[in-house]
């Protein structure tokens, strides 16, 4: 849209109002008054009248022009804000879509919550031998919760431990960062720790 397109309609409006004023009784009274005053005063009056007729349209044009610029700037600013909001929503949606395969429920609110979920996945593992250490819980945006911790265990048979790992991975969507597993020489059973990351919502 051209910057001067609204000025054309303003000019038409001003000329129309000027013609209406000339046809009004007020204009005729001014003309009659003008004919009764002396020539010097009449010249001054004509000058002032002409000046007013010239100044008022310019003032109105300037006012409408500044108003138009202000409105246009406001619209541009709102468009920029909307674009930033769209960009943020796109990033957010991409983040959620990336995390969705590893998001678990129910939401973890405390160390006790997560320990209960781990023990629920233990299967035939001795649940009283499973503990957590170095537990970290972080509240992310939109209700996402990240947990990072060590899962310590002992006295586990190989088959039971394998099932435990599968349950954590598939049902609780736990991500394994590192592990330290060894076989106890006295009991011939597995013991050690798993460093894991877990996301829930």
What's the distance, Cα to Cα, between the start and end of the chain in Å?
48
Same domain membership, residue 79 and residue 119: no
Q: What percent of the chain has pLDDT over 70?
A: 53
Give the pTM.
0.53
- On whether both 36 and 112 belong to a single domain, the answer is no
Whether residue 113 sits in one domain with residue 77? no
- Tell me the CATH number at 181: 3.30.2000.30
Task: Verify that 38 and 93 share a domain, yes or no.
Answer: yes
What is residue 74's predicted lDDT score, i.e. its pLDDT? 67
* Host domain of residue 33: 5-99
Q: How far apart are CA 149 and CA 111, in angstroms?
A: 9
**Span 99-154, pLDDT tens digits:** 556 677 788 999 999 999 999 999 999 999 999 999 999 998 778 899 999 999 99
Q: Report the alpha-carbon distance of residue 24 to residue 28 in Å, rounded.
A: 7
| Domain endpoint, select from 77, 99, 121 | 99
**Residue 3 — pLDDT band, cuts 50, 70, 90?**
very low
Do residues 114 and 132 touch, judged by C-beta distance below 8 A? yes
Answer yes or no: is pLDDT of 7 > 60: no
Residues 93 and 151 in one domain: no
């Amino acid at each position: 849209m051209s910057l001067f397109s609204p000025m054309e309609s303003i000019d038409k409006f001003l000329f129309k109002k000027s013609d209406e004023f000339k046809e009004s009784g007020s204009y005729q009274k001014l003309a009659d008054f003008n004919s009764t005053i002396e020539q010097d005063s009449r010249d001054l009056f004509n000058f002032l009248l002409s000046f007013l007729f010239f100044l008022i349209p310019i003032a109105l044009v300037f006012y409408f022009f500044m108003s138009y610029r202000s409105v246009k700037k406001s619209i541009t600013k709102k468009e920029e804000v909307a674009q930033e909001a769209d960009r943020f929503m796109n990033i957010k949606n991409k983040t959620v879509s990336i995390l969705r395969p590893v998001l678990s429920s129910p939401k973890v609110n405390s160390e006790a919550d997560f320990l209960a979920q781990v023990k629920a996945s233990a299967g035939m593992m001795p649940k009283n031998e499973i503990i957590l250490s170095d537990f970290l819980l972080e509240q992310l945006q939109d209700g996402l919760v990240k947990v990072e911790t060590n899962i310590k265990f002992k006295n586990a048979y190989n088959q039971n431990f394998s099932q435990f790992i599968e349950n954590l991975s598939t049902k609780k969507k736990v991500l394994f960062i590192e592990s330290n597993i060894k076989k106890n020489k006295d009991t011939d059973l597995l013991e050690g720790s798993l460093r894991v990351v877990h996301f829930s919502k």
